Structures are given as C-alpha cells and as structure tokens.
Amino acid sequence: MLNAVWSEELDADSRRRVREFLSAVREADGKPEADGFSGGKHLLASADGELVGYAFLDTEGDSFGRQVAELFVHPAHRRKSFGAAMVRMLPSENLRVWSHGDHPAAARLAEREGFSRARELLVLHTETGSWPEPVLREGVRLRTFEVGKDEQAFIDVNARAFDWHPEQGSLTVEELKATENDPWFDPAGFFLAENADGKVVGFHWTKVHPPNPKEFKGEPVGEVYVVGVDPGAQGGGLGKALTLAGLRYLSELGLRQFILYVEGDNAPALAVYEKLGFTRYQVDVQYAR
C-alpha cells in the first residue's frame, strides 16, 4: 500500500532519504542533476517503509502563474502504478509537469491521466570545437560580466528579451546574486554586448557541467546556458556573435562536448544553432491538463 504525504519542510532524515532516492534515479536515468529541490512542496511516497516515489511542486510557478511539478519513481519500483497514484495527488488545475527525456512510459501515463504535450524543450549537442571569430556590428563591443556592477543591466535586458518565456524572463537581481555564489558561476564565461552608448544590449552566459558517466562520453560539458538580445538590437547577427564568443571561451577551457537548450518552436534560434553544427540530442516535455 502506498503512503504519500505532502510536506513544505523536510527534516534532516527526509532530506537524506530524498538525496539517496534521487541518486538512484540519476544512476538509472542520468537525471536529475540536482540532489534535491528547495522551496515549494514535497511529496514523499513510501511502500513498506521504503521511499518509492518523490515529487516536487514549485508552488511559485512559472512566469504565467502555473505551478510546475517534477515527479520521480524509484527504478526498482516502476511499473507498479505508483506514478499514477502520485500524479492524482498533484493539483488538478493550472499545472505543468516535466518529463525529462520524453520517456514513453511518461507519455502513456500522461495520456491516461488526461494530460497533453504543452511544451517541448530540446537539448542540442555538438562536438564541433573549431569556432570562427564573432563578427560584431559597428559600435558594438563585447566584455565580460562584472560582479557587483552589471546585475541590474543584465536583468533589464533579460526581461525584455525573454518576456515570452515561462521561466527565464522572471529572473530577479536577488536570484542572480544568489547564483553568483554557486560553484559553477564564472564571470569570465559571462559575456555582455554593449552598444556605442555603453548600454548592455545582449549577453551570453555559459556554464560548465561536471562529467556524467552516462552522457557525452563521460566528459565535462560546456553549455550555451542562455543567449539573449534586446528586442531593439535584434538583427545584424548579434545573437550569433554572442554565441560564438561563448563557445570559443568554452573550447579554450579544453572542452569537447557542448550542449544548449532551446524551445522546440523557436525556429529562428534553431536555424542559427543548426548552422553551427548542433543536432538534437534529447527532448524534455512539459505536460498540461
């Protein structure tokens, strides 16, 4: 019998159990990268005293006010209807649920429970390591991000560039400053484009992932984390130039594996990345009722 309980706070023992649980899931699936989730609500599902399922509900939700859930079943306890039971405990309205890797089992479960595909987030990959020099339009220069100086300018451009995006456009200065304390944050790999007036009009924020033995030949991976251009500065190839600047930097670090995430319906961005040698590697799906 499944015993599932929602909690807003996890005690030390529950956090340990969740970390061990997610480690087992990552060993089987390669995801999630994190060892835990913070904030929101946590659903711990147990059977015979063993943690067999875990779900995290982001109650603050995305930029459009939709709650977003991540749900996992322990690899040793799949095909036992635990996932379906947990899905039925999620909010019935205004909800999105992620399926990382677009697993067929998740698709079948979503269909049975009345969900449909609402969003596809593509993971593109390349091993191309020779990138041309970026070509900038007249009056535009590139420089790297300065901690303590550029936070507001970046957030302002980011909000305008991603006002349509469910997550990226709502990033705040406080959240950015918190990220600056993360081990992976590297201002030397965070590029800003300035116009002739010294105004930030675009950016490319890169990220380096540690090796994952199940992916990319077990090598560290450089990510085109986010590229954005102010709507008033679009055209003229600034997005491509920023992308190349970041890729050249990642190559100089000795990386040979490169990825990026892009919305499946973002045809202009897909065209740019495909011309740079990126191909589809994986798709993450968001389901909605």
pTM of this prediction? 0.85
Instruction: State how far the Cα of 204 lies from the Cα of 196, in Å rounded to an integer.
Output: 19
For position 37, what pLDDT does the model report?
A: 84
For position 234, what pLDDT does the model report?
A: 83
Instruction: State how far the Cα of 56 lies from the Cα of 130, in Å rounded to an integer.
Output: 40
Please report, in tens digits, the pLDDT of each residue of the chain (289 residues total).
899 999 999 999 999 999 999 999 988 888 887 777 888 999 999 999 999 999 999 998 898 889 999 999 999 999 999 999 999 999 989 999 999 888 888 999 999 999 999 999 999 999 977 899 999 988 999 999 999 999 999 999 999 999 988 888 889 999 999 999 999 999 999 999 999 999 999 999 999 999 988 789 999 999 999 999 999 888 788 999 999 999 999 999 999 999 999 999 999 889 989 999 999 999 999 999 8
3-state secondary structure of 102: coil
3-state secondary structure of 101: coil
Name the packing angle between helices 267-275 and 238-252 (round to 10°).
50
DSSP letters spanning 122-135: EEEEE-----PPP-
For position 162, what pLDDT does the model report?
A: 94
The torsion angle over the Cα atoms of residues 189, 36, 42 and 7, rounded to 10 degrees, is: -120
